[in-house]
A and B are shown apart, each in its own frame.
Chain A
Amino acid sequence: MAEVLVLAELNPAGGGVRKTTLEALTAARALGEPSAVVIAAPGTAAGVRDQLAEYGAATVYVAEAPEVDEFLVAPKAEVLAQLVQEKSPAAVVVPSSPEGKEIAARVAIKVGSGFLTDVTEIAADGTATQVAFAGQVIVHSKVTAGTPIYTLRGNSVAPEPAPAAGTEQTVAVSISDAAKGAKVTDRVVEQKSSRPELTEASIVVSGGRGVASAENFSIIEALADSLGAAVGASRAAVDSGFYPHSFQVGQTGKTVSPQLYVAVGISGAIQHRAGMQTSKTIVAINKDPEAPIFELADFGVIGDLNTVVPQATELVNARK
C-alpha cells in the first residue's frame, strides 16, 4: 500500500501528541498506509511512538535536532521536504495549525507540489473537501501538481485507533543556515488554563457582547467547566476587552468545529459565523429573538443570559 506521510503535532514538553495528529493519521488512511513524522527536540519521539502506532503509523520517522525548536517553521519544513523527496509518498497530511499550514506551504515550494489547507475530508482518490466563505460554500478540490499536500482542519475527522507496527526509523537531520533565519528566543504562556484547547475541544461555550463585562464572563466559564468545554468569545466581546484575543472565534480568530457550540449573548454576525458554522450542534442563548444566530441554532433559548446560564450550569452539575 502507498505510504502517506503524516506530520505529528505535539503538545509542549512531554504532553504527547495532539488530537489533531490522531485525526490526521485517521484521515490519511483513506489514501494509503500512514507513516508518522516526528520532527522535534532530541528525546521527544520515544514518548509518543506508541500513541502514533496505535492510530495507524506503520513507520515512525524520528528526526530529532535542537534546531527545529530553536528556529521558526523553516527547519521543520526542510526535514519534511527531505523525507518527501526520499520516500516519494502518495501524499502528505499535516494538522492545520498556523505552523502546520506554514510548513505545508514551504514544503510545497521545495518539492514542487500544490497544497490544500483546512481540508475537512480526504477521499480515496485524493479529492479534498473544504469550506469557504464563512462556511457557506462547500468546495471539492484536488492537488494537480506533484505530491499532494493537505492540512487537515481540527475536529473534522473522528480519530479512530488502528494499531500498526510503529517501527521507528531515525532520520539524519542537517539543518541549512538558510533555515536558521528566524530565531525563537522565548515561549511565553500568559493564560494558563485547565480547559481544553479551543480548536480541539468537543464542546465550546462562547460569550459575546451580551455578556456585558469581563467579570461577567465568569458565568460563561462556569457553564463551560460544567460541560468540560473550552471558552470562546466573539470579536465584539474581545474588542470590548471582556476576554483575551486568543479565545476569539471567527474571522481573524479561531475556526472551531466542535460537537456542540453554545453561543451566549452573541448576535451571530457573519464574521462570527465564519469561525463556528461547521459545528455539529449549535445552541444559542440570546434575549433578542431576531438575533441572526438563531438561524443557525438547532436549539435556541430566548431569554436573559444572566438567568439562563447560571441555572443551566447548576442543572448540568446536578446531573453528574
Chain B
Amino acid sequence: MNIVVLVKQVPDSGSERKLDASDNTVARASADNVLNEIDEYAIEEALTIKEAQGGEVTVLTVGPDGATDAIRKALSMGADKAVHVSDEAMHGSDAVQTSAVLAAALQQLEYDLVLCGAEATDSQMSVMPALLAERLGLPQLSGARKLTVDGGVARIERQTDGGYWAVEAPLPAIVSTWDTINEPRYPSFKGIMAAKKKPVETKSLADLGIDASTVGLANATTQVLDFAGRPPKGEGVKVNDEGDGAQKFVDFLASQKIV
C-alpha cells in the first residue's frame, strides 16, 4: 500500500496572521509557520495503514523553501520520504492553480491512496480533495472520521451534521481526514534524528512540466482586491453577578428584542 500524504505549511493559527499589503497574499515569510494541524491526522492515518499493510508513505507539499519544516515534522512522525515542489513562480497561486501543480506532482508518483487533512487553517476552503479528484479522475472520499482499506477498497465514514455517511470507492482514491479520526503520535527523538537522513526531493514547475505562466498571482483565477482589519467592537457591558446577573442578561436580550 503506497500512500501519498499532502501536507501544507501554514501560519500558526494561534499566532497573529497577516496579509501582505504589497500584494494581498498571505504573509508567509514573516509568520510563525507550522505544519497544518489537521494534516497530522492524515499522516497518522497513513502510518497506521502502512504499519498494518506495508508499503511506503510519501509526503508531498507545494510551498516556499521554508516549508521544509512541515516536511521534517511529517518525516519525524514516520513518513519515509518527501517531495517538495518549490518554485518562486508559485507565489500567490490560488486553490485552482495549486491543485494543478499537486495533480502533476501526483502523476509522477506511484500510489494506491492519497491522504490529506480536511481543511487548512489558513484558507479554510476544504476543497483540495475535490479539486484533485476532479483533475485526476480519482474517487473522492472527503471529510472522513474513520477510514478502512481492505481488498482494494477504501471505506470512510464521512462526518455530517449529527452523524455520518458511509462512502466507499475502489483504489486508488483520495481521502481527507478530520481530527476526529485518530490521535496523532508525537515524533520520537529517534524519529526526529532519522528524519534528517530521509530523502527529500525538490521539484520545480519545469520538473513537473508546468508552464510557469499558468500559475502565480498574475495568472490566478481569483484576485484579492483589498483587505482591512475587522473594525474593533465597541466596548461591551460587563456585569458582576450579584444575584441579578441572569436578570440583567435577560434584560439585555429584551433590549435587543431577542426575547
Which residues from chain A sit less than 8 Å from chain B, CB to CB?
A: 72-74, 77, 98, 101-106, 108-110, 113-118, 127, 131-146, 178, 181-193, 197-199, 203, 227, 245-246, 251-252, 255, 259-260, 269-271, 274, 277, 281-283, 285, 289, 294-304, 307-309, 311-312, 314-316, 319
Contact = CB atoms under 8 A, between A and B. Distances in A.
A252 B258 contact: no
Nearest to B222: A114
B227 interface: yes
A106 B133 contact: yes
Interface residues of B, number: 80
Contacts of A246: 159-163
B221 A274 contact: no
Nearest to A106: B134
10 contacts: A74-B140, A108-B131, A133-B17, A181-B139, A187-B163, A190-B162, A274-B13, A298-B233, A299-B238, A315-B250
Interface majority SS (helix, strand, loop, mixed), chain A: mixed
Contacts of B224: 139-141
Contacts of B134: 74, 77, 105-106, 109-110
Given A102-B142, A108-B96, A182-B168, A73 B130 contact: yes
Contacts of A269: 14
Interface of B: 13-14, 17-19, 24, 37-38, 94-96, 99, 119, 121-122, 124-127, 129-131, 133-135, 137-143, 145, 158-170, 173, 178-180, 220-230, 233, 236-241, 245-250, 252-254, 256, 258-259
Interface majority SS (helix, strand, loop, mixed), chain B: mixed
Nearest to B126: A101
B248 A144 contact: no
Contact of B228 (A127, A137, A198, A307): A137
Contacts of B258: 203, 227, 259-260, 281
B166 A184 contact: yes
Given A101-B127, A252-B38, A308 B220 contact: no
A269 B250 CA distance: 25
B165 A184 contact: yes
A283 B249 contact: yes
A303 B221 contact: no
Given A181-B138, A319-B250, 5 more contacts: A72-B165, A102-B130, A137-B19, A190-B162, A245-B145
A64 B230 CA distance: 43
B223 A141 contact: yes
Nearest to A280: B256
B127 A102 contact: yes
B168 A114 contact: no
A132 B164 contact: no
A260 B179 contact: no
Contacts, number: 267
A255 B239 CA distance: 28
A235 B161 CA distance: 16
A188 B179 contact: no
A199 B141 CA distance: 23
Contacts of B169: 181-183
Contact of A191 (B17, B162, B241): B162
A185 B119 CA distance: 24
Contacts of B142: 72-73, 98, 102
B66 to A, nearest CB: 19
A235 to B, nearest CB: 9
Contacts of A115: 95-96, 221-222
Contact of A188 (B121, B135, B165): B165
A132 B158 contact: no
B51 to A, nearest CB: 25
